[in-house]
Structure 1
Amino acid sequence: MDAHARNGGGDPYDDGDPDSDPYGDDDSETGTAAVKLTVSQQKYLAAGKQKQDMHAILTVEVEGVGGAAGPGPGSILAQVLVIDCSSSMNAPPEKFRAAKAAAIAALRMLPDDTPFAVVRGAHDATMAYPATPTMVRATPRLRAEAERAVHGLLAAGGTAVGTWLDLTRRLLTEQPAPIRHALLLTDGRNEHDERMPLAWVLDRCEGQFICDGWGIGSDWDAQVLLQISSRLHGASSAVRKHADLPGEYERLMRGLLAKAVPELVIEVAPRPGNTVRYLKQVEPTEVSLVDTGPEKGPSAFVTRAWGNELRRYQLCVSADPTGRRTRVDLQLAVVGVAMPAGGEALLPTPLPCLVHWTDDPALSSRTDNQNDFFSRHLELGKTLTAASDAFRRDEKDRSEQLLGKAVQLAQQVNDQSQLAKLRRLVEVLDATAGRVKLHPGLKPVDFQHLITASSRSAFPGSSGGETEAPPDVTAPCPSCGEPVATGAKFCTYCGARKAAAT
């Protein structure tokens, strides 16, 4: 359901008449990015006195980025490169050389006029380039100076990731660029967290910039990287071969430079008596979102840095059946996409999430394909973390058992990519039953690669089951005032004929 409107998300009770929209739905000649929104859910809940959770998957897709005339990437992006320079980066020396080569590859791709800086990370954070804690705008001369500074870096000291991110925050928050991004590389664990606790730093950094984290070597901590990327709207990755890192940095930078929509806001307006519990990104990576809406008003969740891409979000709304009719579709909440002032895009008409209270257990026990996939995928990630912890404690049998469960979950959602990665750790004897056997010679880092990969997901194919398109426009019922689909002949709240409202 992709009806577009140019307003900040549209009025959920708009009459929906396409003839009344001066902009129409065709963006083919405007060169303006277009945002699409769809809702997938299982609308049936068991009728009763207790509140229940309704889950829905919101798919947001942006198209047309890059066709509009406007400022180049250099004027909307500010970039900080954070390089782990702890002493372990020299073991072996090829690792540190690869890290430097990757940073230089990223520097060379920065468009002119892009604010940038390079941070040296160890048991504290210092400036690698420029020499003072500030950012400079890219020119051929300054990029060359930064390359020489990176070449001259030495590895010494420990690892205190919190200090690295805090310096990055201070650098980026001074920049007016709409997209502020950090790229962090580490080969170790956050062993000096007491210097500046990471959890405290992330509280200060959240909403200030985006951070992608990379692991290299054999002793980095996937959980630290995932904690950072989830809170700071980025992604976590790793390389098995040092020589692959520069190419991966180039790929990431190409994707970053294709971003042209700094942020979109997903708004959720529940009907009275219902409560928004959470909204979180589940595809392509897991990202925590914070409700920034007013205390008395729609929930608002900011999403960062869009190019031409599709993302999915899991919405949870607590539904209250008290006083509600059964055996009819009722509007539970309205979801929409808005853009901050100054942005320009064709935005979708808001859509409702529905609830249908029923006494039929055959209906209330149904599942939605997309919700089921992402729920199992999230469980898969937790299972892999538990398997890794058991392996570190030398509880091989327990680790094997948990990896069997992970294989079973991946099989259930037909995640062939994840199954292929799991086979690096285990011999799969029976995927359906979850029977596996650990490969000999495994190392803890093998689990870290698997955990990082599990944070990325993609729903296979089109949705099915309970993914019928809900009515996308409503109007107040003339009898009771409740919003009802404009095409409906009768009000689903009071049963009155609704001809007058249409």
Structure 2
Amino acid sequence: MDTERPRAGGTAGRVAVGLETSQWKYLSDGAADPQMHCVLSVRVDGTGGVGRPDAPMLAQVLAVDCSSSMSWPVEKLHAAQQAALAAIRKLPDGTPFAVVRGDHQATMAYPATPGMALASPGTRARAARAVHDLVAGGGTCIGSWLDLSRRLLTEQDAPIGHVLLLTDGKNQHDEQMPLDQVLDTCAGRFVCDAWGIGDHWDGRELVRITTRLHGRADSVREERDLPAAYERLVDGLLTKSVPELTISVTTMPGCSVRYLKQVYPAKTELTAEADGTGRFVTRAWGDETRRYQLCLSADPSGRPREEDLQLAIVAVDVPGGEARLPPPQPCLVHWTQNPALSQHTDDQVEHFEQHQRLGEALAAATDAHRGGRLDLAAHQLGRSVQLAHAMGAREVLDRLARLVHVDDAETGQVALRPGVTAADFEHLITAASHSTYGPESGSAAGAPPAGGGATVRCPRCSDRSPATAKFCPSCGHRFEARP
């Protein structure tokens, strides 16, 4: 539901927030480790013109890989330079910005000393000269690039800090500034989008960065496509005017939160605030919809059976800003001994579980290809085709088609194409980090299991499929005809 209520203590503002939940409420009271999964759809509208008129909303750092591998082919560094300039040209006057040169350490490209300039015709021209003067040399220590970006953004009061990171290589000097430690320090400080270019970057590494820093990983196959991609990304950033939105989960006795994670449009880790309030902070909103998967642990001991019980209450808020907020939504449980009810799960939950399995299959295919086990790589790519086809993940299917000839997408019959390279797998991994929207919400939580809002377990592999599916998208098992 998205019936709106004004913020307490304030007049309803232009920004309107919507909240919907989707779940299958039936759980077996004899399950060894009962868990309730629920998909939360959060929608924000009306952010246009909400930004502060007297100060910029965005502070932007461009971290450009200038390691020695960027020197060949020469088009690679040129594309990185042109992309940085395209992004700078898009920044409105008064926007704090900086360019970081990254190799085995991080140094300032513009301004020359640590700090950020305010966008203006003069600073853009001086930044352009500095970017044109960038030369390639040295190794790669991504942790140092992010750490310098953090220090630059800490000095700014713009509500939304953003880092746009570009690399063509693996993080080979991690011991100098371990990436995991840097991500712990940077988490919650800014949003980072990370891009791969060339042939030697690590897709899973970029996804690890953006998952922690609430951004997205992406890549370009052709260097000439990078400037336009940067322009589109900055255009999107400039529409964001809500710095934070919090999701609060209040659990009932006998229930606890296992996790809350963003699953659409890309996977993002969320960590509850340390104050024990069950609040999770999400970053940098424009007019958009995001989806989150909530997992609750529940204990049926001493609880009534065969009736709806409240496990938790979910609420959203926009801290420090005027917004029209939806009423809190309940997450329910209905303990039952009827397996015809408890064997099903919500179709939206299953959709995003399928995305998780897709990522695992692609990672397994990548590892198999690196190890020269081409038959295993082809098998895992076939499973990936099945999953992507079942979910309608068109971008992933298009990129898979570069690696395999698809004979039958529904059953995952594929043949590995000759000449497939390691870089082809990295492009695939970044594409798979962008999830599809999934089934529409709104089916009644207590409706009978009639296909559209439920899934069933495959007797061969135990994965779940839509109740109306003819084949299991994971193993290809053909289901018996159902009435």
Do both proteins adopt the same fold according to a TM-score greater than 0.5, normalized to the shorter chain? yes
Aligned to 2:405: 427
Aligned residues: 447
Do the aligned partners of 1:182 and 1:210 also contact (CA within 8 Å) in 2?
Answer: yes
**What secondary structure does 2:17 align onto?**
strand
Q: Hey, what's the Cα distance between the residues in 2 that align with 1:237 and 1:142? A: 28
Cα distance in 1 for partners of 2:194, 2:275 equals 32
- Correspondence for 1:163: 144
Deviates more, 1:277-286 or 1:452-461: 452-461
User: How big is each residue's C-alpha offset from its partner over 1:88-142, in whole Å with a ceiling of 9 and x where there is no partner?
Assistant: 1111001100100000011111111111111000011000011111112112111
- Partner AA of 1:198 in structure 2: L
1:336 to 315, 321, 342: 315
Aligned ranges 1:197-236 → 2 under 5 Å: 197-236=178-217
Taking a change above 3 Å as real, the CA distance of residues 121 and 108 of structure 1, as seen in their structure-2 partners, is same
- What is the aligned counterpart of 2:44 among 62, 76, 89? 62
Q: Per-residue deviation at 1:464? A: 6.6
Secondary structure class of the residue paired with 1:75: coil
Percent identity, aligned pairs only, is 55
Equivalence for 2:457: none
Are residue 383 (structure 1) and residue 364 (structure 2) matched? no
Task: Indicate conservation of the 8 Å contact 2:25/2:445, yes or no.
Answer: no
Structure 2 match to 1:411: 389
The RMSD of aligned alpha carbons is: 1.8
2:371, 2:388 → 1: CA distance? Answer: 25
Give the secondary structure class of the aligned counterpart of 2:323: coil
Change (3 A) 1:465 1:401: farther
The amino acid of 1:400's aligned partner reads A
Q: Residues 228-270 of structure 1, C-alpha deviation per residue, up to 9 Å, x if partnerless?
A: 1000000011001111100000000000000000010000001
Deviations, residues 21-76 of structure 1 (Å, cap 9, x unaligned): x96xxx7xx6x11000000001000013744110000000001111447427x611
The corresponding residue for 2:6 is 6
Following the alignment from structure 1 to structure 2, what is the Cα–Cα distance between the partners of residues 51 and 393?
37
**Residue 228 (structure 2) pairs with residue 247 (structure 1):** yes
Aligned-partner Cα distance in 2 for 1:79–1:227:
21
State whether residues 51 and 321 of structure 1, in contact with CA within 8 Å, keep that contact through their aligned partners in structure 2. no
Determine the structure 2 residue equivalent to 1:179.
160
Q: Which residue of 1 aligns with 2:104?
A: 123
Secondary structure of the residue aligned to 1:355 is strand
**Letter of the 2:29 counterpart:** A
Q: Which of residues 13, 22, 33 in structure 2 aligns to 1:40?
A: 22
Farther off after superposition, 249-258 or 109-118:
109-118
State whether residues 293 and 301 of structure 1, in contact with CA within 8 Å, keep that contact through their aligned partners in structure 2: no
Q: Deviations over 1:316-359 (max 9, x none)?
A: 0001111111111110100010122x212111111000100011
Deviation at 1:175, TM superposition (A): 1.2
CA shift for structure 1 position 299: 1.0
Question: Out of 105, 123, 144, which is 2:86 matched to?
Answer: 105
Contact 1:50-1:321 within 8 A present in 2 as well: no
Distance 1:7 1:464 in 2: 25
2:234 counterpart letter in structure 1: M
Deviation at 1:416, TM superposition (A): 3.5
**CA apart distance, 1:440:** 0.4
Alpha-carbon deviations, 1:415-467, whole Å to 9, x = none?
34322321211112232332211000000000000110000012245237555
TM-score by length of 1: 0.86
How big is each residue's C-alpha offset from its partner over 1:360-387, in whole Å with a ceiling of 9 and x where there is no partner? 1011111211101000011101110111
8 A Cα contact 1:368 1:465, kept in partner: no
For residues 145 and 222 of structure 1, the distance between their equivalents in structure 2, rounded to whole angstroms, comes to 33
Correspondence for 1:85: 66
Bigger radius of gyration: 1
1:346 partner SS: strand
Q: Please identify, of 225-234 and 63-72, the stretch whose mean Cα deviation from structure 2 is larger.
A: 63-72
Of 321, 346, 350, 2:300 maps to 321
Alpha carbons of 1:431 and 1:260: their partners in 2 closer, same or farther (altered >3 Å)?
A: same
Question: Given the superposition, is the C-alpha separation of residues 207 and 52 from structure 1 closer, same or farther in structure 2, using an over 3 Å criterion?
Answer: same
CA-to-partner distance for each residue in 1:280-338, whole Å, 9 max, x for gaps? 0000001011111523xx31110000000000000000011111111111101000101
Q: Partner letter of residue 108 of structure 2? A: M
Gap runs ≥5 in structure 2:
448-483
Q: 1:497 — aligned with what?
A: none
Give the AA of the match of 1:4.
E
